[in-house]
Each structure stands twice: as structure tokens, then as C-alpha cells.
């Protein structure tokens, strides 16, 4: 009775070990970790911690530092409309090249809430 229990335990330990290691191995195969970019929105501009990153997954952490609602759109994805003081995280996959970003609310983009992010 001891043996079957023991082997079940060994198999379980092996399965757990594989499950624990797999995410790390997958992350390594996909190369560098995602770049995080801090975005501060206000009237009427965006201030980004960087305007360039390696292509692939880029995480934009957007905070509305202004007094009216803003959002942030890049590569076909956008945050929810963020009220003053609110934040959102936007995870996008960028291909090599230039990607325009804008605030889609009213005419904020033409007032200055736009720019170009470069993926290398
Ligand atoms: Cu705006």
C-alpha cells in the first residue's frame, strides 16, 4: 500500500515542478520582458516616460493628471475614459515602426494630445 502512494507523490511532484517552470521557459523563448511606459495625460498633452521601445509587448500605464476626462489610444487599442486622477493599464503588441497615439475625446488630439511612439 505504501508503494502506490509513494509513486503518486513522485508523479505529483514532477507535475508541479513542470507547471512551475513552464511559464519562465515560455517567457524566455519570447525574448525580452515587456517594456512599461508611464503616460501622464493632462490638458492638452501626453508626457511619456519614453517614446521608444523594442517592438513586442509594451505596457502603457496611463494616469490622468488633468482636470477633465482623457483616454489614450495606440495601435487600435484604447483605455476607458479616465476621469481626473484615474489610471489604466493598456497592454499592446507593437510591430516595428512608428505608432501614433492620441486622446480620442472631443478635439483633444488636435489641441496637442497626440504623438508618435517608435518601436525598434
Ligand atoms: Cu484628452
Helix (H) or strand (E) holding 29: helix 2-29
Q: Is the domain of 8 the same as that of 43?
A: no
Q: What is the pTM of this model?
A: 0.74
Q: Is the domain of 57 the same as that of 95?
A: yes
Per-residue pLDDT, averaged over 88-101, amounts to 98
Query: Integer distance in angstroms from the first to the last C-alpha of the chain?
Result: 61
Torsions phi, psi of 48, nearest 5? -105, 145
Per-residue pLDDT, averaged over 55-60, amounts to 98
Ranked by mean pLDDT, the top range of 7-11, 20-24, 115-119 is 115-119
pLDDT, position 90 = 98
Q: Is the domain of 41 the same as that of 97?
A: yes
Query: How sure is the predictor about 2, in pLDDT bands with cuts at 50, 70 and 90?
Result: low
Q: Is the domain of 115 the same as that of 64?
A: yes
Per-residue pLDDT, averaged over 103-120, amounts to 98
Q: Is the domain of 2 the same as that of 52?
A: no
Q: Is the domain of 115 the same as that of 83?
A: yes
> Which residue's entry shows cell 495606440?
74
Q: Is the domain of 11 the same as that of 66?
A: no
Per-residue pLDDT, averaged over 54-60, amounts to 97
Q: Residue 8: which domain range?
A: 1-33
| CATH number of the domain that residue 76 is part of | 2.60.40.420
pLDDT, position 33 = 80
Tens digits of per-residue pLDDT, 21-48? Answer: 544 444 445 556 889 999 999 999 999 9
Q: Is the domain of 16 the same as that of 28?
A: yes
Q: Is the domain of 85 the same as that of 113?
A: yes
The Cα 14–Cα 12 span in angstroms is: 5
- From the CA of 98, how far away is ligand 1's center (Å)? 21
Q: Is the domain of 45 the same as that of 57?
A: yes
Dihedral angle of Cα 108, 110, 112, 113, to the nearest 10 degrees: 50
Query: How sure is the predictor about 64, in pLDDT bands with cuts at 50, 70 and 90?
Result: very high
- From the CA of 9, how far away is ligand 1's center (Å)? 57
- From the CA of 74, how far away is ligand 1's center (Å)? 14
Mean pLDDT, all residues of the chain: 85
Q: Is the domain of 73 the same as that of 100?
A: yes
- From the CA of 27, how far away is ligand 1's center (Å)? 35
Q: Is the dihedral of CA 95, 79, 101, 115 positive or negative?
A: negative
Into how many domains does the chain fold?
A: 2
Q: Is the domain of 52 the same as that of 108?
A: yes
Amino acid at each position: 500500500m505504501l508503494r502506490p502512494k509513494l509513486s503518486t507523490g513522485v508523479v505529483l511532484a514532477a507535475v508541479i515542478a513542470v507547471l512551475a517552470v513552464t511559464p519562465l521557459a515560455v517567457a524566455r523563448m519570447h525574448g525580452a520582458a515587456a517594456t512599461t511606459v508611464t503616460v501622464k495625460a493632462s490638458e492638452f498633452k501626453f508626457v511619456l516616460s519614453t517614446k521608444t521601445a523594442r517592438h513586442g509587448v509594451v505596457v502603457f500605464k496611463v494616469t490622468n493628471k488633468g482636470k477633465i476626462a482623457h483616454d489614450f489610444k495606440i495601435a487600435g487599442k484604447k483605455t476607458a475614459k479616465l476621469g481626473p486622477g484615474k489610471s489604466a493599464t493598456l497592454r499592446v503588441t507593437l510591430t516595428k515602426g512608428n505608432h501614433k497615439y492620441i486622446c480620442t475625446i472631443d478635439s483633444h488630439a488636435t489641441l496637442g494630445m497626440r504623438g508618435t511612439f517608435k518601436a525598434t
